[in-house]
Homo-oligomer: A and B are copies of this chain.
Amino acid sequence: MTEGAAAEFETRLKTVAEGAEDILDRLLGAATLPGEIARPARLLDAIRYSTLGGGKRLRPFLLVETARLFGVEGEGVFRAAAAVEMIHCYSLVHDDLPALDNDDLRRGRPTTHKAYDEATAILVGDGLLTYAFDVIADPATHQDAAIRAGLVLELARAAGFGGMIGGQVLDLEAEQSQAAHTTEAVIRLQSMKTGALLHFSVIAGAIIGNADARARAALSAYGLALGAAFQVADDILDVEADEAVLGKRAGKDAGRNKATLVAALGLEGARERRDRLAAEAIAALDCFSQGADAMILKEAARFVARRAS
């Protein structure tokens, strides 16, 4: 709410992004780990290209800051944060493939199948998806096996048929259809494709933080609203932003009969929805209102609504 909060948020966002970059760099390093056969060099190179050196690391941020709300910090939390970022990066690499969205640019750089080749991009995605579960299930992430198994289950569901994969299929179906998309259908699609992993990031922090049922319900509501706000903001950005700012071809969604909320609600309606959802996300955290950390999560909801890229 104050300028101080916004400044502290920016500092934390930067700190967590650096921490996430560092742990990803170490997990995806060239060294042969104990018991592991040496990783093929070309694959490793392509994986690092697809994962390192960019992005706001919003999902790691949400996980780390939610765990911190309960006083839990450290290497294990960042390992879980790296796993969720690997899932995010895998989904981008596969979504960009010619058979899917056929995108040549991502964050202003050639997409993985353009920088390498299609076969490598498919395997990079498969490898990141698989490795994310390796990292989460490893005792180094959390000493309690019940928490590790719980994280695996939640992550697999967020990334699976009822989450990212299901949303991507609905997205493809929507694109191939010539009909206009109902607001309800677009919201459902987006809650699966993008919302589920953002929601998982918050819930994972709550699981690691051993949150009680009431706190977990509040954080779940926060995660759902934030995820929905994020995607409306993305749809709005696609219309508004020019290619140089966004680092991908802007206006592309409209040219493809993509299911977007700007198409369903109009630009003004989409902006209203975005701001209402951000306010909902913030209100969901009222039970934590005393601490500085909930303030940072609230600030994250404002950031998601106002971001320019």
A residues whose Cβ falls under 8 Å from a Cβ of B: 35-37, 39-40, 42-44, 94, 97, 99-100, 117-120, 122-123, 125-127, 129-131, 133-134, 136-139, 145-146, 148-150, 152-153, 155-157, 159-162, 165-166, 168-170, 172-173, 188, 192
Q: Which of A42, A146, A160 lies at the interface centre, i.e. has the most chain B CB atoms within 10 A of its CB?
A: A160
A160→B127 contact, CB < 8 A: yes
Given contacts A99-B117, A149-B149, contact A134 B160 (CB under 8 A): yes
Question: What distance in Å separates the Cβ of A23 from its nearest Cβ neighbour in chain B?
Answer: 17
Query: Please, which residue of chain B has its CB at the minimum distance from the CB of A87?
Result: B130
| A125-B126, A145-B148, A157-B36 known; A165 vs B43 contact (CB < 8 Å) | yes
Q: Could you say which residues of chain B place their CB within 8 Å of the CB of A145? A: 145-146, 148-150
Asked if A43 contacts B148 (CB within 8 A), the reply is no
Task: Tell me whether A122 and B122 are in contact in the complex, defined as CB-CB below 8 angstroms, given that A40-B169, A134-B157, A162-B39 are known contacts.
Answer: yes
User: Which residues on B sit within 8 Å (CB–CB) of A139?
Assistant: 149
Q: Which residues of B are found within 8 Å of A36, using beta-carbon distances?
A: 157, 161-162
| A165 / chain B contacts, CB cutoff of 8 Å | 43, 123, 126-127, 130
C-alpha spacing A126/B130, complex, angstroms: 10
